[in-house]
Every structure is written in structure tokens, then in C-alpha cells.
Amino acid sequence: MRAVIDENVSLALARALREQGWDVEHEAETADRAVSDKTVWAKAMRADAILITRDHHLTNPVRFPPSDVATLLFLRQGNLSSADEVALVLMFLARFDVSTLRGKLVTLSPNQVSVR
């Protein structure tokens, strides 16, 4: 699986996904910091990747249709530690087959999973 991870998401998540065999590009690891939402979106589109973000702007379906990327995984803002963020995403990926969520917006929080 391929993932593009926005710079506002923990680097630990990139490491954890790579350990599970994912091909991951984390924006915080690139030389071009503070990349625009449009640029991150375009990278996920070109790579046909899951886009993982905490940026609520990317959940606007008019500007960023989820059908353009493999899946849009939005981590709802909250007081999550890096370890909590990693555990939340890994638990979700263990429970759900992301290929069945193609083109969907998935919102994750510690107490809820929402798919639209």
C-alpha cells in the first residue's frame, strides 16, 4: 500500500507503516516544508495513495474530492500524543480493509470511525 502523510501527522506513523511494508512519503521528511494543501493532494493523486492528515481543510469535498485519492484518512484534531496517533491508525488499518474504502473520507477519533 502507498500513503502520503501530511506534515501535521507524527513521523512515528510513517515509521510504523514502513515497518508493516507500506510505501510512505511523509511531508515532514522532505526539504520543502510548509507545502500547500494542493501540493499534498496532488502527490496523493499521482501516487494513487491514501492521504493521512490532520488538516480539516482537506476534508472539503468541493476543493478536494475524496474520489481523487485512494482514501482520505482524516485524524480529527484532539489532544493525541504521537503514540496515540500511531495506535489509532494502526488499529483502524487492522480492522478495516482500506481497499473497500476507495475514494472515501474516513474520519478517525479515539471513540469513532466515520466514513462518507
What tens digit of pLDDT does each residue of 73-96 get?
A: 999 877 889 999 999 999 999 999
Answer yes or no: are the C-beta atoms of 70 and 98 closer than 8 Å: yes
Residue 93 is placed in which grid cell?
488499518
Reduced to 3 states, what is the DSSP secondary structure of residue 100?
helix
The per-residue pLDDT for 79 is 83
In one-letter notation, the amino acid at residue 87 is: A
Dihedral pair phi/psi, residue 51, rounded to 5°: -105, 120
2-115 fold: Rossmann fold (3.40.50)
Reduced to 3 states, what is the DSSP secondary structure of residue 50?
strand
Every domain of the chain and the residues it spans: 2-115
Tell me: the pLDDT tens digits for 18-69? 999 999 999 988 766 678 899 999 999 999 999 999 999 999 999 999 999 9
